[in-house]
Structure formats: structure tokens, C-alpha cells
Copies of this chain bind each other. A is one copy, B any other.
Amino acid sequence: MTDGEGGFSFEVLEQDLAGRAGRLRTRGRTVSTPALMPVVNPNLMEAPDAITPQELSDTFGFEMVITNSYIIRRSDRLREWALSEGLRSLLGFDGVVMTDSGTVQSYIYGSGSDTEVDVDPLEIVELQRDMGSDIGTILDRFTTPDTPRAQAERELATTLERARASMEVNGEMELAVPVQGGTDLGLRRASAEAVREMGAKYVPIGGVVPLLESYRYPELVDIICTSKQALGGALPVHLFGAGHPMFMPLAAALGCDLFDSASYAKFASDGRYMTRSRTLHIEEMQDLPCPCPVCSRTDAADLRSLPPALRTNAISRHNLWVLRTELVSIRSAIAEGTLWELVEGMAASNPRMHLAVRGLLKWRGYLATAAPRSSRRFMCSTDLSLARPEFERFCKEMAPSFGPIPGRNDLVLGDHTGAHRPDIVSALRAVYSTDRRVIVRTPLGPVPYEVFEMYPFSQMVTAPEDGLPPGLAAHMLEANAAIEGLPVLDEVAAGMETGTQDGLDTLRVAMIARVQFGMSGGRYADEMLFGTWKDPADLPTRMSLVVSKRTGKLRNVHLRSPEGPGVHVLSLRAEDGLFSLKWEGAVRLHAGSGPDRWRVIVEDDTAPFNGRGLNVFNKFVAGADPRIRSGDEVMVTDTQGVLYAVGRAVIDGPTMVQARAGIAVKVREGREKSLAEAPPSF
């Protein structure tokens, strides 16, 4: 279902914050992203201190390398070899090969920021194409950070002109078209929009090495976020020249998918030893604080005493292990939904890094744009957590659906960390009534107890209120101002009999559905499912609940019908306390909602396949509710609005509309399956 075996495609497989795990395919080869491509210098490849491209693949598992067409061009031997046998033969590397054009190299190798290298912009693209590069790079103008606006603008115009011309000559090679514009965010935005409009499929963010080298991380964050917003979510984005592990988790969290590193070898030749958070010099090290295959078999003194070539080789290997490990950590964190924790942990390693992560507060709207609405855990360790999407979403999406807080007779549960204690639960049940709720004081703000089991409330890991860091404590105080002075549950409940308030469980179902799905056309989802209600006491007549015999926890929600349990509309997921939508639930939400709400609209001729239970591919998506996030429950319809399937979104709505490869929705139930199984078996 991609553009064919030889084609180029990029799929987003999982999302966390604005970052994602993906898969880049080109000419039948595959690269898992986030990925780092070691820079291979074809002149030095056979030097005794070099790591061969073959080793990069076999030992370290790198699936992609980048090399320099400008260097190859200057050597008759290398050029002829590459042109006749191809780059993979020249490098002895069977993975994906990207080339750059001399632009970035002119900065990295110190020939200055003047990008007028002695080569024709189209000739260098044709050379890359003819050498069989999988992804070639245009000869863009490297705009340095402090280039005056007028000059940066001229340079950008040149870059775009060259890009358009290059796209006529690239043949079957995919073309990397960098976003430039220095530190001028307006120019970066214009550059990214132009690159997207001209149909580039691979986009580096260029001109950032000087910012990385001078620790100007906050500006870099602004550049990445601005560029990414204009590029949208479907394009693979390469942060050109970013090859130190310290900045990689943050860059990945902002949506960078590819990195390259020349520093693993350059650092090594100067005796510089990478760690996650900084670079040490081997001459000053007593021990090697690393368990990699190099460091676990030697010590600092032995490493120092090696002959220079062997020493450089050994440190290069160590540096590659550090880079690879950081990449794997990032991929694991995205899969787990803990990318924020990885970024937060790195923030303490340098004052400028900390400042850059604090700067995310400004970008929390962007971070929340594509971030999944649930996870298994939510760690709130430092004040930096205030930029997490959970805080943004609580205010914008969740709190408005709670209803008036506090209600007239509401009570407060002061310590959210105690909300699972059996005595509290039993006191809660005793006091709940038609016009009395218990409000839990949480660091996010006041939360009605009936939705407390859903993400992110019960999944939040924090210190108790008097142990929160100052920023979080201040936020908690302010966010809970409305419930200040409410009577406290413990004191009130002490005088009451403990018991069971029957309406509480049905109220939980209705309110979780309301908060999870929100509204359409002025009506909340729970009302579409269970009918309009004002008094929680009405709800037990509308639904029947199936509880797990083993755990005693709620599993399924059916509509109550006179003849017994009616159709199954919702199932509660244990991992995040949110509902999975069943076909009969989807039918009701579909009937009650406006034409795009909760919907992924697919091309008419493919909808029947989804109706038979097949997943939805991005390339057939004609439209999608932009509010959809990875992991959300969605309905699949054709362009006429006919409901064909219900399932779970793999990626956010805007990205599934833009993307050409990969899966948009994992279908759980299709129309046909459901029809075949009807009537329900209860």
C-alpha cells in the first residue's frame, strides 16, 4: 500500500509529545526513526582509526549513513568508483545512504560560512543522483544565526530557487530540501511553508550547528517548533548536524526524526569522550563511567596509552555506543509514553539545557497538538512538568466538562494520593448524593472523584502537596482556589454511616465518557449514549454495568433495556481508565454528532474494507477531526457520512490527512462483522 518497492515513504507509528517513532522506507530498505546516521568521510574511511560503514551496520545496528558528495566529487578515484559501482559499493554499506552537498560541510569542516563552494547547484544534485544516493541534498545557502534579516532573506530566496530547480533533475533520488532562515522565526516559517508547498518529502532543518556549538538551545527550540508547525506532522524532519546525545531527547520530543553525527569520530581524534550529558577528555579521566563493549574491557589509563589510531578508533566506538543508546532510549520512551521524563532528566545537565526545557512552557500548545491523551504513567517531578500537555489539556479540554465546581454541597478530598485508600472510598460512597460530589484536590486542579480513575489523575506520580517543588505547589494552590474552604470529606464522613451510594458507579461511567469524548453541537457524548440527564439518580435506569468477577472492577457498559442488559456500548480499559468504544456506542455517537466529530473519513471505495474490519491506511483518509490524537477512539465513515467502523487512532487527525504511508486507524469493529454478530449475545 506504499508507493511501491522502490518508492520513498515515511510512516508515523507512535507518538509522544510532538515526537514520534516512525519508519522511513526507500528503495526497499527501511530505517526506524528516530534515527542517527553516522557521517562517513570517504577520504578517511580506510584510515586505521576509522570505523568502517560495514561495522556501523553490523556491530552498532545503524541502518543509515550520510556521506559528502562534495568530497567525493573532488577525488577522481572516489567519483569514478561511485559513478560506476554506486555509493553502496564505494562505502561497503548495504543500508540507506544519504548524501549532502557541501553546504553543511563548508561550515563543519571550517571553511567558513561562505557557502559559495566551487560547484554548480544542479551539477551536485545530478552527481548525487548518478552515484545512487538514496537521499540527496540540494546546495542550499547556510544562513548563520546572526545574519542580518535582509541578507538572510536573499539567501533563503536563493535556497528556494535552487530547490525548485533541483527538483527537476533529481530523478529517482529523493531530495532533501532544508529549512533555512537563521534565527528569524518569520523566515523559518516562510521557508518551511515553501518547502512543504513544493512537495519535498524529506526536510532537514539547516543552519543550526552554530547554535548547538554555542549552547543557544532556547533559540533552537523556537526554530524547531516554528518550522515543524509549518511543515505539519507527515514529513520526516532531520536536524542537520545535531550529533551530541544531550540535545537529542528534546529535539525528538519536538518532532525531529533524524540526526547525523560527525562528532563521534572528530571528538575521538581529539581524545574527547562523550557521555549523555557532556564531553570529557580522556587525558583527564580516572575511570570510564560506561558499560559499553569498549569501556567494559579496558580502563582510562589503558585507553590513553594506546597508539593514536587505535585510541581514536576505540573512543569512536565508545561514542557510537553512547549515541546508539540515546537513540534506543528515545525510541523506548516514545513507545512507553515517557518521553517527557527523558527530556526532564536531561534538563539538569546544563544551565542552557534547563533554560531550553523551561522555554517549552511557551510551546505547550504545540506540544499538546499531537500528543496522545493517555499513557500508563504521568510523572510530576520538577516544575518543568508544568509544560506537559496534561496541564494544557486539563484547562482547555477536561475542566470545562466537569460542570460547576464547587457545587453547593460539595466536599473536598484534600490529598489526592489517598484517593484509593479503602476507608476513603467507603466514606466517598457514603456521602455522594444527587447534589453532593467529592472534589479531589490535585496538582492539575480540582477533579470530581467520579472521573478520578481516568488518565491522568490516578496515573499521576507526585510528591504530597507539601513536598511539591515551588512552581507546582504554586500552580496547585492557584488551580484549586475555587474549592478553598470547602468542607473536608474526612471530617464530614466521620459523622456518617459508611455505605454504598448506588448512583456513584453509573455517574462515573457518564462523567468519564463526557470528559473523554467531550461534546459535539452543544451536546455531551454521554447524553448521546445514555440520553439527557440532570440528576445522577436517573442514570442507574439507563445503563447496566458488567463488573469483573476476579477484580471487582468495572469492565463493560450496556444500555439498560426492559428485557435485560441491552447493547454493549463501552468497555473500560484497565491501563488508563478510559473507554473503548463499541460498535453500538459508535452508532449512538455517530447519530448524535456533527459531520466531522470523532470521525476519520475515508474514500468511498475503501470504506467497505474497513467495514469488514481492515485497518484504515493514511493514503485513503479524505478527512479527519483535527481534534483526534493518537490513541483516541474514532469512527470511520465514507465521504457521505455512513458509519463503517470503530477503532483506535494510530496518529493524530491532521497527520493522517497529510500522510501518504502507514496506518491511520486500527479498526476494532466493522459494520459487517457487527451486523453478522447481531443480535448481541446477552
Contact = CB atoms under 8 A, between A and B. Distances in A.
Interface in A207-260: 218
A289 B345 contact: no
Contact of A351 (B324, B351, B380): B380
Interface stretch (A406-414, A464-472, A648-656): A464-472
Interface centre among A277, A328, A351, A384 (most CB of B within 10 A): A351
A1 interface: no
Nearest to A466: B355
Contacts of A291: 290-293, 321-322, 324-325
A379 interface: yes
A299 to B, nearest CB: 9
Interface stretch (A168-176, A329-337, A537-545, A619-627): A329-337
B296 A321 contact: yes
Contact of A354 (B321, B328, B353, B469): B469
A677 to B, nearest CB: 32
A115 interface: no
Contact of A348 (B335, B344, B358): B344
B321 A381 contact: no
A322 B353 CA distance: 25
Contacts of A296: 292-293, 321
A285 interface: yes
Interface in A60-76: none
Given A287-B331, A352-B467, A355-B463, 6 more contacts: A287-B332, A341-B349, A349-B381, A350-B381, A355-B467, A470-B471
Contacts of A45: none
A351 B288 contact: no
Interface in A268-307: 277, 284-293, 296
A467 B322 contact: no
Query: Lowest 10 CB-CB distances: which A-B pairs, in order?
Result: A291-B292, A289-B329, A291-B321, A351-B463, A355-B467, A289-B328, A351-B381, A291-B325, A345-B348, A355-B463
B345 A469 contact: no
A271 to B, nearest CB: 16
A172 B341 CA distance: 50
Contacts of A321: 291, 296
26 contacts: A277-B345, A286-B332, A287-B335, A288-B328, A289-B329, A289-B332, A290-B291, A290-B328, A291-B322, A291-B324, A291-B325, A292-B292, A292-B296, A293-B296, A345-B345, A345-B348, A348-B348, A350-B381, A350-B461, A351-B381, A351-B463, A351-B468, A352-B463, A354-B381, A383-B469, A383-B470
Contacts of A380: 351
Total identical chains: 2
B348 A382 contact: yes
A339 interface: no
Nearest to A331: B287
Nearest to A288: B328
Dominant SS among interface residues on chain A: helix
A351 B287 contact: no
Contacts of A384: 348
A35 interface: no
A41 interface: no
Contacts of A382: 347-348, 354, 382
Given A296-B293, A322-B291, A325-B291, A348 B286 contact: no
Contacts of A358: 469
Interface string A300-330: 0000000000000000000001101100110
A261 to B, nearest CB: 15
A462 interface: yes
A300 to B, nearest CB: 9
Nearest to A347: B348
Interface in A333-371: 335-336, 341, 344-345, 347-355, 358
Contacts of A352: 463, 467
A291 B290 CA distance: 8
B355 A379 contact: no
A353 B381 contact: yes
A348 B381 contact: yes
B354 A286 contact: no
Contacts of A328: 287-290
Nearest to A322: B291
Interface string A541-562: 0000000000000000000000
A470 B467 contact: no
Interface string A20-41: 0000000000000000000000
A36 to B, nearest CB: 14
Interface string A609-633: 0000000000000000000000000
Contacts of A324: 291
Interface centre among A324, A335, A384, A469 (most CB of B within 10 A): A469
Nearest to A344: B348
A351 to B, nearest CB: 4
